[in-house]
Amino acid sequence: MAIPVPPLGKGEDVGGEADQGVRLAKSLKEANARFMREGSVAREVFGDEFVEHFGGTREHEVRLWEEAVTDWWVLCVWFEAGFTDVKQGGEEIYRDRLIRPSRPPA
């Protein structure tokens, strides 16, 4: 299978005029949409039946994630990863441990 876009040469910037490449997906949801679209390389290589089945399992995974992981939880994990002594909704957040409130502050 041929690569349709040549690599960038020395001194050429990503996102510049010479860059004709497509950026990688930033989420499972976006990656799966590209994987499952009509005419995708995945369909050419693996076939429609496999792509529909595997892509369907990824859609299910994304739905479960969206139902279970709230924006509040993502914010708490973000703070846990790199901030210390931050007050959020009256709770202390420390680098070594995060005191997660049971629900977001009112």
Tell me what the mean pLDDT of segment 23-43 comes to: 93
Q: Is residue 48 predicted with pLDDT exceeding 80?
A: yes
Domain boundaries, the chain: 26-68, 70-106
Question: How does pLDDT run across 8-22, given as a tens digit for each residue?
Answer: 777 777 777 777 777
Contacts 24+ apart (CB under 8 A), 29-34: 29/62, 31/58, 32/58, 32/59, 32/62
For 105, the token pair is 């502050």
The whole-number pLDDT of residue 66 equals 86
Using DSSP's 3-state secondary structure scheme, residue 27 falls into coil
pTM of this structure: 0.58
Q: Quick one: pLDDT at residue 93? A: 47
| Residue predicted with more confidence, 9 or 28 | 28
Q: Are 61 and 45 in contact (CB under 8 A)?
A: no
pLDDT at 51 over 80: yes
DSSP one-letter code for 90:
T
Split at pLDDT 50, 70, 90, the class of 62 is very high
